[in-house]
Amino acid sequence: MIRVDTDGRHVTLPRLGTIRTHEPTVKLLARVQAGTARILSATVRHERGRWFVSFQAEVKRDLEPVARPDVAVGIDLGVKSLAVMADSTGEIRTIANPGHHDRARKHLRRASRVVSRRQGPDRRTGQKPSKRWEKANAARNKVHHRVANLRADALHKLTTAVAAEYGTVVVEDLNVAGMLRNRRLARRIADAGFGEIRRQLTYKTRQRHATRTIVADRWYPSSKTCSGCGAVKAKLPLHVRTYRCDACGLVIDRDDNAALNLAALAAAATTGTGVAGDQDTAPAVSKPRGADQKTRTTRPRRKAEAGRAGGATLPHQRQTEARDRTQAEALTFW
């Protein structure tokens, strides 16, 4: 039988008996006694050097209202600044990147050097690790676990604050797996946790507050588009951190400009069911070269023609894709 004991510090699990918990279980116990929660199952796992027990419970809870339900916020994630948030009222806030892994690199180097000097395991010869190696490896893992716990705590605090304040959250569909192939930025991108931020925002807005999260299309040029007049640059290298519009003369930070464009997408989205099948009503606009997917020269299938072996075509008969293809700004609701 699975139950939470009345003292709020012990749980009873099948085959394991009564176990004392490090964290108090008063909140879950109060819900169970009040009849607003029912425990379905329990999962015991060993993670980050500690044992955890997770309860799957059916909970009856009311939706929490947000502070500003009529305000939309666009979030531009980055490495130097973890997030730049711009709402529909024009307010811009910057969240600094904690860089937990960078701060712990000195301790990790020392701990790794100690581990390398010990006699470790060898699968080829069947050699078992020494006691000193196991002790040093446990000390190194403790540093890794601390970094992971600090990162998870910071991301939960950020996403909880955003979900509790805004009625609409707009994020980008980042290709995190492709970004990790950049050997110069892979460590910092992995430490930031871009994918975890989007995952937490998705379920917190939907389940806690019944608000919506809009995911901009991966090819939407949020950084290349001017937030003032809407002009789109053909090219904008990554090292250019200041956006200068050639049409209206606007000069603004690159990340601030991208966040403002993401916040403006909320007005173009439909207020429908909030599922992935909803389509936007924004008119189709032409994207210049560099802001759209890559195009390539295509040739029609060769068919047998009289007078030409293999159906070869003359140069003037070859076809190419249009230089500027029409593409609607696709939005996905989560």
Q: Has 5 been annotated as catalytic?
A: no
Q: Which residue is catalytic, options 87, 165, 191, 255?
A: 255
Distance CA 139, CA 314 (A): 70
Q: Has 255 been annotated as catalytic?
A: yes
φ and ψ of 46, to 5 deg: -110, 115
Q: Which residue is catalytic, options 87, 165, 172, 329?
A: 172
* DSSP, res 22: S
Distance CA 71, CA 91 (A): 11
CA angle (84, 196, 153) in 5-degree steps: 85
158: closest CA among 189, 186, 207, 193?
Answer: 193
* Angular region, 74: left φ>0, alpha ψ -120 to 50, beta rest: beta
209: closest CA among 242, 264, 169, 167?
Answer: 167
Helix (H, G, I), strand (E, B) or coil at 308: strand
Helix (H, G, I), strand (E, B) or coil at 39: strand
Q: How many CA atoms lie within 13 A of 155 on its CB side?
A: 22
Q: Has 76 been annotated as catalytic?
A: yes
Residues 6+ apart with CB under 8 A from 286: 324, 325, 326
Residues serving a catalytic function are 76, 172, 255
